[in-house]
Structure 1
Amino acid sequence: MKLPPYAELLGLSIEACGDSPPVLVMPFVADVVGRPGFVHGGAIGGLLEMAAIAALYHALGDDGGDRDGVRVKPVNITVDYMRGGREKPTRARGSVIRLGTRIANVEARAWQEEADRPIAGARMNLLIDRG
């Protein structure tokens, strides 16, 4: 799966894929530091956005959709920060809640050590442009 260019800026990589939406990993490096010892909230928000987009592309592929020529455009995003991201890799996975012909509703969760203890979550609506 090819991620958008912003994912490269954050240093994101795909850890797991297969039948479920991919898990994205953001390393703790100087580019994502906010206050000393913590991940910047904007970097966490960017990770969640990329995880949501990756989950949508995964769902479009599973539905037989042709990803070539399909573009997604964010309509809105709401991020809930639950705890500070510390000096360790941060993971995120998106989940498509509703996939319509023009709009998709996607959620994403970010965590560090335990997936059931998220540091942030997001809800996002995306416009699907099938060209």
Structure 2
Amino acid sequence: MLKTIAEFKRAGRVEAINTLIPYAGLVGLEAFTDEDGLVAVLRFRETNIGNPVLRAVHGGVVGALLEHAAILHLLAETDVQVVPKIINLSVDYLRSCRAADTFARGRVIRQGRRVANVRVEAWQDTPERPVAAAHAHFLLIDEGAATS
């Protein structure tokens, strides 16, 4: 049975890393790979509604999607083997996130030895109309240091 990030990556099942993150199941975060790479998905759930009048997803849940997508993208596209620690996350809320599935894709802007910078955009209908975007900085953890 596969249990670690490294094992999932070696097996080509990066989207399965999602199952290792407990809050993913709680709020409805999933992941899949398409021709452009990894996509994180926030499946619509009534419990994620923050404004019942507008029927809009709570901003904190949208922020969690953006952070989650950044982490998954960093794990999928780099040699990082340990879930990185968030340093900061700056979110731009661009339009109301309606009561529907929301998708997000990340891009590594810069990766150093200890810090990585990732840009993420989230959308519902089309990537050309993002509902939110974020810049995130992560502390990269040495796999040897994480096991000692």
Question: Which bin holds the TM-score, normalised by the shorter protein?
Answer: 0.7 to 0.9
Partner secondary structure for residue 7 of structure 1: helix
Q: Does 1:103 align with 2:115?
A: yes
Q: Over residues 62-109 of structure 1, what are the superposed CA-to-partner deviations in whole Å (9 max), with x where a residue is unaligned?
A: xxx362xx2310000100000001111000111110011110000100
TM-score (norm 2): 0.78
**Relative contact order, higher structure (CA 8 A, sep 6+):** 1
CA distance in 2, matches of 1:121, 1:66: 23
Aligned to 1:23: 39
Percent of aligned positions with the same letter in both sequences? 42
Structure (1 or 2) with the greater helix fraction: 2
* RMSD across aligned positions (CA): 1.5
1:1-131 correspondence runs (5 A): 1=14, 2-3=17-18, 4-17=21-34, 20=37, 22-36=38-52, 37-60=55-78, 65=79, 67=81, 70-130=82-142, 131=145
How many residues get paired? 124
Segments of structure 2 that go 5 or more residues without pairing to the other structure are 1-13
Look at both structures and tell me which one has the larger radius of gyration over its CA atoms. 2
User: Where does structure 1 differ by over 3 angstroms across 4 or more consecutive aligned residues?
Assistant: none
1:6 Cα shift? Answer: 2.1
Segments of structure 1 that go 5 or more residues without pairing to the other structure are none
